[in-house]
Amino acid sequence: MKKYIYALVGVCVSLALPSWMAAQSQSQSPESGRSYMDHAEIGVYADYFRFAPSGNSTTNFVGTGARLAFNMNPNVALEGEMNYDFARNFTSTYRTGTGAGATTSFATTSVRPLTGLFGPKFQIGTSSPFRVFATGKIGFINFSTNYSGAVSGSTFSNAVAGVGNPGTHLAFYPGGGFEGFFGPIGIRAEIGDEIYLNSGTYNNMRVAVGPTIRF
């Protein structure tokens, strides 16, 4: 009886071996499956930046940006990004006297932040259409001013030209999020803490959502 079992096992292995070798060859090919879409990634996004320079005031900026990443391996990428935020409402809360209730006022700020960041992105799930990631980046944040109330190419270029002036500060960004893909096209969402140094450390929440393409 045993020899028939051994023979049956041998036949099964002989039949399965060619298919297994073909699958191994395909999985090792750099152009197989999704691997050909895991060399780099480019995307644009809308961002929400909760600027909180002090405990009594916050400014809720919104803007747009772009990013580019190159994969060092399936789980590590180097990524650079830049975004520009538009003028937004400035909220200030204060008390007029002892026992008085809090008063909140709103105004439009002329400040427009420009942020540039670069660093590694650590990701898992690269072989599936869904992945999660964490990132830690370093760069700058520049606060430019514009009183026109309109956004144009010149306002952005003036902000870029102003990088390095006294309104530019060292920035750090730890964050994380997820990506979902349908083929090469996907959507990416992330949240993090944009920290900048200016005679102290300031923490500011940042949320970014937008389409991304991998290739």
Bridge-based pairing state of the strands 185-197 and 130-145:
unpaired
Q: Name the β-bridge partners of 58.
A: 91
Same domain for 18 and 44? no
45 close to 115: Cβ distance less than 8 angstroms? no
> How far apart are the C-alpha atoms of 121 and 134, rounded to whole Å?
6
Average confidence (pLDDT) over 73-84: 92
> How far apart are the C-alpha atoms of 128 and 181, rounded to whole Å?
8
Same domain for 101 and 194? yes
Is residue 192, in this structure, part of any structural domain at all? yes
Q: Which domain holds residue 13?
A: 1-29
58 close to 52: Cβ distance less than 8 angstroms? yes
Task: Say how far residue 172 (Cα) sits from the centre of its chain.
Answer: 13
> How far apart are the C-alpha atoms of 35 and 20, rounded to whole Å?
19
Same domain for 93 and 187? yes
pLDDT attached to residue 34: 52
Is residue 34, in this structure, part of any structural domain at all? no
Is residue 98, in this structure, part of any structural domain at all? yes
Cβ within 8 Å of residue 190, ≥6 positions away: 133, 135, 175, 176, 177, 178, 207, 208, 209
The two structure tokens encoding residue 172:
């750090």
Computed on alpha carbons and rounded to an integer, the radius of gyration of the chain in Å comes to 25
The two structure tokens encoding residue 182:
């349908």
Same domain for 84 and 170? yes
Total number of domains constituting the chain: 2
Same domain for 2 and 74? no
Min mean pLDDT across 17-21, 39-43, 55-59, 175-179 is at 17-21
Same domain for 120 and 87? yes
Same domain for 50 and 69? yes
Same domain for 112 and 91? yes
Same domain for 67 and 107? yes
pLDDT digits (tens, 9 = 90+) for 95-110: 666 665 666 665 556 6
Same domain for 16 and 84? no
pLDDT digits (tens, 9 = 90+) for 21-56: 444 444 444 444 455 567 899 999 999 999 887 666
Looking up residue 122, the CATH number of its domain turns out to be 2.40.160.20
